[in-house]
A and B are shown apart, each in its own frame.
Chain A
Amino acid sequence: VSQETISTLFGSKLSVVNVGLRSFAESLADQGVAVSDVDWRPPRVPYLRVISSGIDIEAANAEAVARIQQARPMLVGMGIAREAIPGYEPPPGKRALILHAGPPITWDRMCGPQRGAVMGALVYEGLAADENEAAQMAARGEIAFEPCHHYHAVGPMAGIISPSMPVFTVRNGAFGNLAYATQNEGLGRVLRYGAYGSDVYERLRWMEEVLYPTLKAAIEAIEVGIDLRALIAQALHMGDECHNRNRAGTSLFLRALTPALIRTCPDRERAAAVFEFIQGNDHFFLNLSMAAGKAALEPAEGIEGATLLTVMARNGTDFGIRMAGMPERWFVAPAGIVDGLYLPGFSADDANPDIGDSTVTETAGYGGFAMACAPAIARFVGGTPQDALEATLEMYEICYAEHEQFTIPALDFRGTPLGIDVRKVAQTGILPRLNTGIAHKEPGIGMVGAGVLRAPEQCFVEAFESICR
């Protein structure tokens, strides 16, 4: 029996956590003792340490977090979706396979912007002459739909990946797994926000014919690839949270890319056009930040008993989560309404419910969870840098760990909250804070704003119940 900790206690300064009567904390503060007074309320459910089968949840989660932190997502190449993504082919009898954001969904339940993006993609692919025909095709069941997440991929907003689209390939250097994401189109009238039309297709075609081959050559010329974890870590120190703000990440990416771009692109004007496109799109880095998150999270899947999320995604109709311990199972609830700031001419009446795979960033320990890094966009969470700090501080309550690689200057370089723990969400009732863009609810229009919201409670309740069983 050790007396060591007690003699240590006798010799050291008291530092107290107070739970309950506030006056006790005040008495301690009066005596000059460091005290943190817990904002306690009755736990909604007990904190579960062991599953009924006897598996130690703490150990499982520790392993999951260790794997996520070891991840080394490297941008190593690009390809065309149907060739690059393993298993990407339509099932028998279907004319095409389209990947989408969020949990599985059928055409009849798809929201406006996701439908719009599907219609646009079918026209872009040349499978339909116009959007009407595309919609009929989809309604007749000729198109297969699958979540991006079922193919190691992630897509922002509608998250549509159609066969001809170029994708980035991100390789997790620590585990060897690959993840995929498309190139970011920019803001406004873009396919991922549900817009379609000639301007949208023209841009997509340019991205396929000019942007893609140029980037591919440059990226593949960089011997070890581009270290996305390092870029994210730096961007977090430069005012990005790598979800709603990607200005620093995009700049860092361009800086890492440019020498290779100049060396590999034979046409100076084309190189300049590519450079201009990226520097004119502050969100270009988003898709890379997302693919990096996906690559980092997947190795944690399949750790029995782990209650951390490896997937959190929305399709504009449903919000879905998956836990590391049950990677095949989606827990789904209706997608929430975004509390947003709107582009001129649009309002909350135009907004579609929450949509996109970009919550992979929050799942991987940045995005909305790293708001404290991004005072420039504090308006989303109340206006002041203090509000941004508190948004992050609150997320520590529901996370299992803190990220060793991603740190927050304003919190004395504390690690970002990492590993959303279903048990803690169930216990505290604190729901994950998400940052997001907002799409118009009707197909064909596009972006109307950006904002924040909380994940819906019900899917966490069900996930927690499934652990208890």
Chain B
Amino acid sequence: MIRRSEYHDSVTLMEIARSLNALPGVVDAAVVMATEANRALLEQAGLWGPELELATANDLIVAVHAGSEVLAEHALEMAGERLARPQSGRRAGAEQAGAHRARTITSAVRGHPGTNLAVISVAGQYAAAEAWEALHNGLHVLLFSDNVSIENEVALKQYAVQHGLFMMGADCGTAILNGVALGFANVVPRGPVGIVAASGTGLQETSTLLARLGLGISQGIGTGGRDLKEAVGGLTMLQGFRALQSDPETEVLLLVSKPPAPAVAERVLAQVKESDKPTVVCFLGGTQEPIVGAGAHPARTLQEGAYRAAALAGRAVTEGAIARETADLQVQAATLRGGLRAGQRYLRGLYSGGTLATEALIVWGEMVGDVHSNVPLRPHLKLQDASRSQGHCAVDLGEDEFTVGRLHPMIDHELRIRRLMQEADDPEVAVILLDVVLGYGAHPDPAGELGPAIAGARARAQEGGRELLVVVSVTGTDGDPQGLGRQVKALEQAGAVVASCNAAAARLAGYIVTGGRAL
């Protein structure tokens, strides 16, 4: 079925496709815009037919493979109904019911003259043009979309820097400006710590940890994942860092990213050196010496980054706190180990946040030894097949290989739950780790879906005569729409062990599988 010149955002389409796939008798279903890329996907899936040849990129396609024509018709009908229905009873912002909505950024700005920020999350092929339109209208930009060419990113950022505008992204998932959570972000208080992060989840983890330590953040600026690559040169990181250096609200700076390209690291650290505000630098997996050389405070993990920044902001929490917590974790691990059988020796991390997977790998690097991953710290530990674990293993389920044509695991738990069951059936598995990310943008009730799955996985292992440990970290605050306390409680009731943060969860699991022995 072709629906001409009809546009819906991809989340809506994937939700509809998911509900079609759930219908009895439906083998496979797709609800997609008829782009070249989607056409290829449909052909691969055997969902392409000659009657779809007439569709153009502006048309919507609903394709169903079902047990019978009647079932297929029924599915198409349901798709039609779902597409016709308004996506939400609630309308955004100050718009009145039935009021006209602007069709372009320019027109929205004209109708709302005080507009200062554009949040853009359209499909990648359209994203750069929208970002240009926003910049030309004098707006700061958070570009959530990915699949924007690096040339476009560079050109957009150069223009933005020249005009004193923020160009956060492409692929910028999180920012907190003036206390407002943007994209995937948590509700945290305002305070003295300014964060610039190339990783959205990194910003979420550090800002929520600070919040739990009683510290707020002044601004949380996202740069997008590629900002520190050689080609982009850290334009937004440097710009954000300068802005926070001169921001009177910011007392302590925290930089979070994977290790930048060497030339970029040099530039960033040169900027750090000029800072008269204390600065914590967390280059996850990078070397510490140059950071110390720049007069800044290095942090190996997100947790350390948050704690160090807190200490510098005058909170009486120091690394001693992490050491004390670690001692407690060792005790806890020893107790938990008691229920394991002899053959249970591996840990399996099933992550929705790539940066959280990386942080765990860093923790395990010194505790556990080799951990395989689809995002390994060292190339030889790359998983042959990301859909099957081997040995100790951490999988980032938010990687492209898992998310083509489906929602991100922070929104849709189906894939992760399936993988959880797969791991539960493996008699060599001792402990499974899950990260749960709360806040705006994320699933409205992760514990409501993951909780029963955790209980189910443990029950399955029990049937096999084993105790299965599930360790969970929850990134969030009590101010988040899901509520940290409620989520933790539900997860614990389901039999999960909830650690204080992602790094702590990794350490706990590490002690469980190593029995507390250092390498």
Contact = CB atoms under 8 A, between A and B. Distances in A.
Interface of A: 1-7, 9-10, 12-31, 33-44, 46-47, 386, 389-390, 393-394, 396-397, 402, 424, 427-430
B246 A3 contact: yes
B242 A12 contact: no
A39 B88 contact: no
A3 B219 contact: no
B122 interface: yes
Interface of B: 5, 7, 9, 11-12, 33, 57-58, 87-88, 90-95, 98-105, 107-112, 114-123, 126, 129-130, 133-134, 138-140, 144-145, 161-166, 177-178, 180-183, 187, 218-219, 239, 242-243, 246-247, 249, 440-441, 481
A36 B9 contact: no
Contact of B93 (A20, A36, A386, A427): A36
B133 A21 contact: no
B115 A20 contact: no
A38 B122 CA distance: 11
- Nearest first, the 10 A-B pairs at minimum CB distance are A20-B121, A25-B92, A2-B164, A41-B7, A393-B100, A39-B101, A27-B440, A37-B92, A35-B93, A5-B164
A16 B140 CA distance: 9
Contacts of A43: 126, 129
B422 to A, nearest CB: 30
Nearest to A49: B136
B211 to A, nearest CB: 15
Given A17-B112, A390-B98, A394-B100, 18 more contacts: A5-B163, A9-B177, A9-B178, A13-B114, A14-B180, A16-B182, A19-B118, A19-B119, A20-B121, A24-B441, A25-B92, A38-B102, A41-B7, A47-B129, A389-B100, A393-B100, A396-B111, A397-B107
Contact of A20 (B33, B95, B120): B120
Contacts of B92: 18, 22, 25-26, 28-29, 35-37
A42 B103 CA distance: 10
A24 B114 contact: no
A23 B12 CA distance: 10
Given A26-B92, A36-B101, A46-B129, A21 B177 contact: no
B58 A42 contact: yes
A396 B162 CA distance: 30
A57 B90 CA distance: 39
A10 B126 contact: no
A15 B110 contact: no
A385 to B, nearest CB: 12
Contacts of B114: 13, 15, 34
B117 to A, nearest CB: 5
A1 B58 CA distance: 40
Interface of A, helix, strand, loop or mixed by DSSP:
mixed
A37 B58 CA distance: 20
A26 B104 CA distance: 18
A208 to B, nearest CB: 46
Contacts of B130: 19, 40
Nearest to A430: B103
A286 B85 CA distance: 43
14 contacts: A13-B114, A17-B118, A18-B92, A19-B120, A20-B144, A20-B145, A21-B9, A21-B144, A25-B92, A26-B90, A28-B119, A37-B93, A39-B102, A44-B58
A41 B12 CA distance: 14
Contacts of B122: 19-20, 40, 42
Given A10-B219, A12-B116, A38-B104, A23 B11 contact: yes
A13 B126 CA distance: 28
A44 B122 CA distance: 15
Given A26-B92, A36-B102, A39-B102, A18 B180 contact: no
Contacts of B187: 31
B441 A7 contact: no
A120 to B, nearest CB: 43
Contacts of A12: 116, 178
Contacts of B178: 9-10, 12-14
Contact of B103 (A16, A34, A38): A38
Which of B104, B144, B161 counts the most chain A CB atoms within 10 A?
Answer: B104
A357 B454 CA distance: 72
B162 A42 contact: no
B9 A7 contact: no
B108 A36 contact: yes
A36 B115 contact: yes
A386 B98 contact: yes
A41 B108 CA distance: 14
A4 to B, nearest CB: 6
B123 to A, nearest CB: 8
A285 B283 CA distance: 73
A12 B119 CA distance: 17
B133 A47 contact: yes
Nearest to A19: B120
A274 to B, nearest CB: 43
A15 B108 CA distance: 11
B87 A22 contact: yes
Contacts of B58: 41-42, 44
B164 A39 contact: no
A36 B103 CA distance: 10
A15 B247 contact: no
A49 B120 CA distance: 21
A368 B69 CA distance: 48
A276 B57 CA distance: 60
A10 B110 contact: no
A13 B179 CA distance: 10
Contacts of A41: 5, 7, 58, 103
A80 B144 CA distance: 65
A37 B101 contact: yes
Contacts of A26: 88, 90, 92
Contacts of B91: 37
B246 A9 contact: no
A399 to B, nearest CB: 9
A429 B5 CA distance: 10
A28 B93 contact: yes
Which of B12, B103, B118, B140 counts the most chain A CB atoms within 10 A?
Answer: B103
B139 A7 contact: no
Contacts of B107: 396-397
B150 to A, nearest CB: 20
Contact of B164 (A6, A25, A34): A6
Nearest to B129: A46
Contacts of B112: 15, 17, 34, 36
Given A7-B243, A21-B121, A30-B440, A15 B116 contact: yes
Contacts of B11: 21-23
A20 B180 contact: no
A183 B7 CA distance: 48
B166 A6 contact: yes
